[in-house]
Amino acid sequence: MNHFRSILCRALVGVALSIPLVAISAELPRAQPEQVGLSSQRLDMITEALKADIAAKRIPGAVLLIARRGKVAYFESVGKLDVATDTAMGKDGIFRIYSMSKPITTVAAMMLVEDGKMKLDDPVAMYLPEFAKLNVGVEKPDASGNPALEVVPARRPITVQDLMRHTSGITYGFFGPGLVKKAYNDANLTADNPDNAEFSRRVAKLPLMYQPGTTWDYSYSTDILGRVVEAVSGKSLYTFEKERLLDPLGMSDTSFYVTDTTKQKRIAEPFSSDRNFGVGADFGDPRIAQKLESGGGGMMSTATDYAQFLQMLLNGGSLNGKRYLGSSTLRFMTSDHSNAGAGVTAGPLYLPGAGYGFGLGFAVRRNAGESTYPAEAGEYYWGGAGGTYMWVDPKAEMLVVFMMQSPKQRLYYRGLLRNMIYASIVK
C-alpha cells in the first residue's frame, strides 16, 4: 500500500479524547451543561446513541467533546480504543486526524504571513523554484477517438492563497477519473520515503488539473503549503508548528508520528474490516516514523489537544493571554474565498457541501439554509478520512471535536451529531 496515499487520505473529506482531564482543565474549565445553555438530557441522548451504535458494532469507540462559552460542558469516551486488544476507549486516546491536519498547517502558514515573511499573493515559486514553470493537462481525443493528455502553459502562477483554498490546480489522484489524476497515481509520489522537499519536487513535475485560481479541487495543496512553511521558516514543518503553535497551546500529543512507546498504547484503531478509505488506501502505522510530514493529512492528535486549538480560533486567535493570530486574520481566514466573486467555480467533487464556501483551511457556512443540518452563517468545519470531525460556531460560541476511527461511518456521524448537538442548545 502506498504510504503517502494512506497519509494523504487522512486528507479526505468528511468518543475517546486524549490528554487527561486535568490538562484540559488548565486551559478550558468545566461547566455543567445548563450553565452554558445546553440541555443535560439532550446530551445524554447523544451518549446513549453512541453506546447503542457501539453495541451494534457500527463503530469500535469514540470520544466527543463540546465546549461552549469557553467551558467544556460535555466530554465523554465510549467503546473500545482497540477491539483487537479489548482496550477500553480513554479520554487520552490518540487518533489519526488525517485532513484535520490542514487547518493546523494553514494557521502555521498564516503566522508567517502575519510575521511579514510572506504574502498570500506571492507566487509559490518564490519559495519553491520547482513551481516556476507549470503546465495544465487537457484531455483531447486522439486520432482513434480515445482521450489523450495534452499540456498547455499555466496562465498565471500558483499563489500561497491558492494553496490555502484548494484552487492551485494541483489535485489528488484518488478522487475521480481523468488522465491527470491517473498521472498522479502512476507517479508513486511517496516511493523511497521522500521528505517534504522531495515530495514537492515530484508534485511540481506533474501537470495541473485546472488553471490556477479557477477551480476548487481537493488536493495536495496543503502538503505543498507545509513545504512553503519549511522554506520560509528554515525549519521542518513539525519543528515550526511545535515551537509556534503546539507547545504553547499545550498540544503535547499532536505530532506526525507516535514514536514514544509510552504513548503508542493510546493509539485508537478501527475495526480490522474498516481500515480502507475506498480509494485504494488503508490506515497507516504512525508508530513507524517516515521522512514525510504531511501538512495535508499526516497528524495524530487527541480531542483535548484539538479543542485547545479550536478554542484559540474561537477566541479570535488567542488563548490564556497568549496571541497566536490577529482577530482580523481569523475573520479573514473564515470568510469565503472560493466563490464566483473570486472567480472560483466548484469542481466535480465539492466536499464543503451545499450551503458552504471555503476559506483558508476551513469550509465556511454561507447561510443557515441549503445544507441538510443546522448551523449559523459563519460556522466553519473540517474532517478527516478516518472519522474525525470538528466544527466551530462563533455565533453559538461553541466548538465540537469528535474522534473515532471508522472510514465507513465518517459521513453518517457528521449529520447525526450536528442534529443532536444543536438540539441540545436551550439558550
Q: Say what the pLDDT of residue 336 is.
A: 96
Q: Say what the pLDDT of residue 128 is.
A: 98
Write down the mean pLDDT value for the chain.
Answer: 92
Q: Per-residue confidence at 174, pLDDT binned at 50, 70, 90?
A: confident
- In which element (H, E) is residue 345 found? strand 345-346
- In which element (H, E) is residue 362 found? none
pLDDT at 5 over 60: no
Mean pLDDT for 119-135 is: 98
| Of residues 412, 298, 301, the one with CA closest to residue 11 | 298
The total number of residues shown for the chain amounts to: 427
Residue type at position 34: E
Query: Among 27-31, 119-123, 196-200, 407-411, which stretch is predicted with the lowest mean pLDDT?
Result: 27-31
Mean pLDDT for 244-259 is: 97
How many whole angstroms separate alpha carbon 82 and alpha carbon 298?
Answer: 20
Mean pLDDT for 206-222 is: 97
Cell 481525443, located at residue? 141
List, in sequence order, every residue forming a beta bridge with 30; answer none if it has no partner: 72
- Asked whether the beta carbons of 236 and 244 are under 8 A apart, the reply is no
Q: Per-residue confidence at 282, pLDDT binned at 50, 70, 90?
A: confident
How, if at all, do strands 389-393 and 380-383 pair?
Answer: antiparallel
pLDDT at 86 over 50: yes
pLDDT at 88 over 70: yes
pTM over 0.85: yes
pLDDT at 7 over 50: no
Q: Say what the pLDDT of residue 288 is.
A: 95
- Asked whether the beta carbons of 102 and 11 are under 8 A apart, the reply is yes
Query: How far from the centroid of its chain's Cα atoms is residue 325's Cα?
Result: 19
For helices 196-204 and 221-233, give the axis angle rounded to 10 degrees: 130
Give the three-class secondary structure for 317. coil
How, if at all, do strands 345-346 and 215-216 pair?
Answer: parallel
Q: Say what the pLDDT of residue 27 is.
A: 63
How many whole angstroms separate alpha carbon 205 and alpha carbon 284?
Answer: 26
pLDDT at 133 over 70: yes
Give the three-class secondary structure for 20. coil
pLDDT at 21 over 50: no
Q: What are phi and psi of 95, to 5 degrees?
A: -120, 150
Q: Per-residue confidence at 24, pLDDT binned at 50, 70, 90?
A: very low
- Asked whether the beta carbons of 280 and 235 are under 8 A apart, the reply is no
pLDDT at 384 over 90: yes
Q: Say what the pLDDT of residue 12 is.
A: 43
Q: Per-residue confidence at 177, pLDDT binned at 50, 70, 90?
A: confident
pLDDT at 13 over 50: no
pLDDT at 15 over 50: no
- Asked whether the beta carbons of 395 and 372 are under 8 A apart, the reply is no
Mean pLDDT for 185-189 is: 91
pLDDT at 1 over 60: no
Higher pLDDT pick, 61 / 146: 61
Q: Say what the pLDDT of residue 175 is.
A: 79
